[in-house]
């Protein structure tokens, strides 16, 4: 990905005093930016080559707890270091923070200086390389949905996240007047991201009160994941600066629709021609596309964890909410797990609608590529599209209904073990197990209110 700052440009800005801080970041298992704030002069003189971090950063949960059961790191192994190697092609300004730039890092083994295979960026890079070995490259884009609330994160936390009030009072899907009221957050978000080299196309109101969607232009797979991660981080920081909170929780209220992260994908050949397109084929879908999509569908249960990584993720899959419950494909149909877009044109592509806003884009895109590659290599046949209301489709395969189910399909996936590596699958199976274990220990407000007196 071409960054918006060269290293020489950064050195000049540091010398003239317009930049004083460099955010040196890796992406953790949860898709968050973790790292250090460097004085810019130190970065351009020394840390541009590498810095170090504790290797627990790729084996923690949302609370930064250190679960047991990971082969990569543990108390027994002493929690040593990883090397963070800045990818200088990702250098970019952070316009919403004064005098600040950001760089993303690859994570290396401290002793061998080889990429750590469980690192989300490394997982995706491996699948990009596999596809390149077949003579193709992927173009991908995500649609990112989230809710904006009255009050700051600190205020909502102190209130126990009760009595949450979205920034608007009614469904604002495509609603210009209501979204005008949210421009104090969304306008700087769009403009700052563009200034940071993230090609935002638009934002729009989504299908619930206080819900927005951010659309970013398609790019190569690694850049797409970088853009998604930076945009999600920016939304939180810019809303915080305005005294508001945003959440990417897929289902924050039982009566509200959830937040998704839809993934659009297509493939080009070595000459950058759209390999998914065949003008003489039905819907313009080439043989390659049909095999790729057949892989996406066949292996959707295997990789659902990478699209829905938490217990809450599965609360989103509900009839009549525009969140799918079946893995079938359809033509321009928003009740399907996979929606064909741009039918009959060179822009023909497949949209996966399963993922929630809580997904890690590197892992989600990698899993999709792995499934698509499997479809190509196995020469899978794509069945006909399903029409009508797919919530009622009886023959279509169900999406795993719980995190426990998705953990099982991930553990048993021969395809993902071959594509991602045994160590990677084992690592993320443990991640899934820990989330379930933590939830199983919890006592929820619902349980107490339901049974306190009547049980």
* Own/partner long-range contacts of 79-82 (Cβ < 8 Å, ≥24 apart): 79/54, 79/55, 80/54, 80/55, 80/110, 81/52, 81/53, 81/54, 81/55, 81/110, 82/26, 82/52, 82/53, 82/54, 82/55, 82/57, 82/58, 82/107, 82/108, 82/109, 82/110, 82/116
Indicate whether 186 and 281 sit together in one domain: yes
Where does a domain end: 57, 85, 115? 115
- Residue 65 sits in a domain whose CATH number is 3.10.20.70
Q: Tell me the pLDDT of the chain (455 aa) as tens digits.
A: 456 899 999 999 999 999 999 999 999 999 999 999 999 999 999 999 999 998 999 999 999 999 999 988 878 887 889 999 999 999 999 999 999 999 999 999 988 999 999 999 999 999 999 999 999 999 999 999 999 999 999 999 999 999 999 999 888 888 899 999 999 999 999 999 999 999 999 999 998 899 999 999 999 999 999 999 999 999 999 999 999 999 999 999 999 999 999 999 999 999 999 999 999 999 999 999 999 999 999 999 999 999 999 999 999 998 888 888 888 899 988 888 999 999 999 999 999 999 999 999 999 999 999 999 999 999 999 999 988 877 888 788 889 999 999 999 999 999 999 999 999 999 999 999 999 999 999 999 999 999 989 99
**How high is the pLDDT of residue 1?**
42
Indicate whether 166 and 67 sit together in one domain: no
Indicate whether 407 and 319 sit together in one domain: yes
- Domain range for 184 is 127-446
* 120: in domain: no
* 1: in domain: no
- Say how far apart CA 264 and CA 94 lie, in whole Å: 26
Distance of CA 445 to the CA centre of its chain: 29
- Residue 150 sits in a domain whose CATH number is 3.30.590.10
Indicate whether 163 and 61 sit together in one domain: no
Indicate whether 39 and 137 sit together in one domain: no
Where does a domain end: 88, 115, 142? 115
Spatial contact of 22 and 102, defined as CB atoms under 8 Å apart: yes
Q: Which residues contact 367 (CB under 8 A, 6 or more apart)?
A: 302, 303, 306, 307, 416, 420
Spatial contact of 5 and 89, defined as CB atoms under 8 Å apart: no
Residue of 175, 159, 51 lying closest to 107 (CA atoms): 51
Where does a domain end: 72, 95, 115? 115
Structural domains in the chain (count)? 2
Indicate whether 188 and 320 sit together in one domain: yes
Q: Is 164 exposed, middle or buried (0-12, 13-18, 19+ CB in 10 A)?
A: middle
In this structure, what token pair is assigned to residue 248?
């990417």
Indicate whether 157 and 89 sit together in one domain: no
Indicate whether 275 and 131 sit together in one domain: yes
Indicate whether 96 and 22 sit together in one domain: yes
Q: Where are the beta strands (DSSP E) in 21-115?
A: 21-27, 33-39, 51-54, 81-86, 92-93, 100-109
* 455: in domain: no
Indicate whether 222 and 102 sit together in one domain: no
* 452: in domain: no
Predicted model pTM: 0.96
Indicate whether 43 and 175 sit together in one domain: no
DSSP 3-state of 381: coil
Indicate whether 179 and 72 sit together in one domain: no
* 231: in domain: yes
């Amino acid at each position: 990905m071409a960054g918006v700052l060269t290293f020489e440009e950064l050195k000049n800005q540091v010398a003239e005093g317009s930049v004083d801080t460099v955010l040196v970041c890796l992406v953790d298992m949860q898709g968050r930016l973790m790292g250090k704030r460097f004085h810019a002069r130190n970065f351009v003189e020394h840390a541009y080559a590498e810095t170090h971090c504790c290797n627990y950063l790729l084996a923690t949960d949302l609370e930064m707890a250190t679960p047991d059961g990971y082969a990569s790191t543990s108390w027994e192994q002493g929690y040593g270091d990883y090397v963070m190697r800045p990818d200088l092609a990702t250098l970019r300004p952070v316009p919403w923070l004064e005098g600040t730039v950001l760089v993303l890092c690859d994570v290396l083994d401290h002793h061998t200086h080889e990429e750590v295979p469980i690192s989300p960026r490394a997982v995706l890079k491996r699948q990009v390389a596999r596809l390149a070995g077949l003579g193709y490259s992927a173009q991908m884009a995500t649609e990112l949905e989230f809710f904006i609330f009255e009050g700051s994160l600190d205020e909502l936390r102190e209130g126990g996240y009760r009595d949450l009030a979205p920034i608007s009072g009614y469904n604002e899907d495509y609603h210009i007047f209501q979204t005008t009221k949210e421009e104090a957050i969304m306008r700087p978000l769009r403009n700052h991201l563009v200034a940071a080299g993230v090609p935002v196309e638009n934002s729009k109101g989504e299908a619930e009160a206080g819900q927005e969607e951010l659309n970013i232009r398609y790019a190569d797979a690694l850049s797409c994941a970088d853009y998604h991660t930076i945009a999600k981080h920016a939304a939180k920081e810019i809303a915080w600066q305005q005294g508001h909170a945003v959440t990417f929780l897929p289902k924050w209220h039982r009566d509200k629709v959830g937040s998704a992260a839809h993934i659009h994908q297509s493939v080009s050949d070595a000459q950058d021609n759209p390999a998914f397109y065949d003008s003489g084929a039905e819907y313009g879908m080439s043989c390659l596309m049909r095999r790729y999509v057949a892989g996406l569908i066949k292996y959707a249960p295997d990789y659902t964890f990478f699209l829905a990584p938490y217990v809450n993720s599965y609360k989103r899959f509900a009839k009549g909410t525009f969140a799918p419950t079946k893995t079938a494909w359809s033509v321009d149909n928003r009740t399907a797990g996979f929606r064909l877009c741009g039918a009959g044109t060179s822009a023909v592509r497949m949209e996966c609608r399963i993922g929630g806003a809580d997904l890690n884009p590197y892992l989600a895109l990698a899993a999709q590529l792995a499934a698509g590659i499997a479809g190509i290599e196995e020469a899978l046949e794509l069945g006909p599209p399903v029409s009508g209301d797919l919530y009622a489709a009886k023959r279509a395969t169900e999406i795993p209904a719980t995190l426990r189910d998705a953990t099982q399909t991930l553990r048993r996936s021969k395809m993902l073990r071959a594509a991602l590596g045994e160590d990677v699958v084992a690592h993320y199976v443990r991640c899934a197990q820990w989330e379930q274990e933590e939830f199983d220990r919890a006592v929820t407000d619902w349980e107490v209110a339901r049974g306190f007196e009547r049980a």
